[in-house]
Amino acid sequence: MRKPLWLNKRVDFKKTERMNFLLNDLRLSTICKEAKCPNISDCFSQGVASFLILGRVCTRDCQFCALRKGHAEDIDLEEGKRIAEAVRRLALKYVVITSVSRDDLADGGAEVFANTIREIYKVNREILIEVLTPDFKGEEKAIEKVVRAKPKVFAHNLETVPGLYSVVRKGADYQRSLHLLEQVKKSNREIYTKSGIMLGLGEKEEEVIKVFTDLRKAGCDFLSIGQYLPPSSKHFKVREYVNPGRFLFYKRKAQELGFLYVESGPYVRTSYLAHRYIQSAIGELKD
Ligand code: SF4
């Protein structure tokens, strides 16, 4: 299927050089690079990146995802400190931390998330931290570890409609993911919860609206809706390039259902312009 005109964004690698230098210097990974995000030159040129912790190899086998799959890497106990240093050097007011799935670890990597949050707060207590986590296999104690470290936003993506999980998101469970978001909200109502889905995998309109409704029932505050773009010809094939007008339609539907903030568009990714969600909820970020 040929890409339509509205999906003609080009990556300008020149604009990514400064950020790449810092990432290499501190030996840090980002989901931006590992997942071949099309927004990378926009974000890197503005000093924004989503840090990827717990290694670069994922223990799951999602068919839409560009991350490498296989045996996970060793845990790097100093990684949190180096991310804190990157936050300091970039003078960030908002930071997103995400990870691969680590089903090989008893707590799914929750302690490493919590430790990273704590290290960042040591260098800047005022910073707003968003974590975008895997499902920790639904282990409540693991989820609780991250909640207790007090991120401002706890994000977990549903990615697609439940009917497509067995094809594109093997190893995940729709209800388990919803329950994670619900648990976070019940545990600490001051933490904003967020989720994201991709369109173009073969989902139907009524299924998408049902996902929105389920998320609101789970107390989810923020929603991102983007176009699925296959990372390679070996990945799950795109079924539809969704028209920008349809993204607007879904945005309005989601807003009607009560989400505090929704980003919806072909190039929207969960972490794209992530500070905007919180800005809309609590006002401008503090200096
Ligand atoms: S949208 Fe997110 S993943 Fe993509 S480059 Fe920006 S921060 Fe990185």
Q: Is residue 55 part of a domain?
A: yes
Closest to 29 (Cα-Cα) out of 83, 77, 75, 65: 83
Find out whether the beta carbon of 97 lies less than 6 Å from any atom of ligand 1.
no
Locate the ligand 1 atom nearest the alpha carbon of residue 96 and give its number. 7
Give the number of the atom of ligand 1 that is nearest the alpha carbon of residue 44: 5
Average pLDDT, stretch 113-138?
A: 97
User: What is the distance in A from the centroid of ligand 1 to the CA of 275?
Assistant: 12
What is each CA distance from 83 to 5, 121, 127, 279, in whole angstroms?
37, 11, 13, 23
Whether 138 is in a domain gets the answer: yes
Helix (H) or strand (E) run with residue 132 in it: strand 128-132
pLDDT digit string (tens) for 211-264? 999 999 999 999 999 999 999 999 999 999 999 999 999 999 999 999 999 999
DSSP secondary structure string, 54-104? S-SEESS--TT--SEESSPPPP-TTHHHHHHHHHHHHT-SEEEEEE---TT
Q: Where are the alpha helices (DSSP H) in 149-240?
A: 165-168, 174-187, 205-217
Residue 241 domain boundaries:
13-282
Q: For residue 222, what are the β-bridge partners?
A: 194, 261
Which amino acid, one-letter code, is at 240? E
Minimal-distance CA residue to ligand 1 atom 1: 272
User: Does any domain span residue 8?
Assistant: no
Between the CA of 44 and the centroid of ligand 1 the distance, in Å, is 8
- Six token digits for residue 52: 């990827």
pLDDT of residue 58: 94
pLDDT tens across 50-106, in order? 999 999 999 999 999 999 999 999 999 999 999 999 999 999 999 999 999 999 999
Return the CATH number at 266.
3.20.20.70
User: Is residue 4 in some structural domain?
Assistant: no
Q: Tens digit of pLDDT for each residue in 247-260?
A: 999 999 999 999 99
Q: How many domains does the chain have?
A: 1
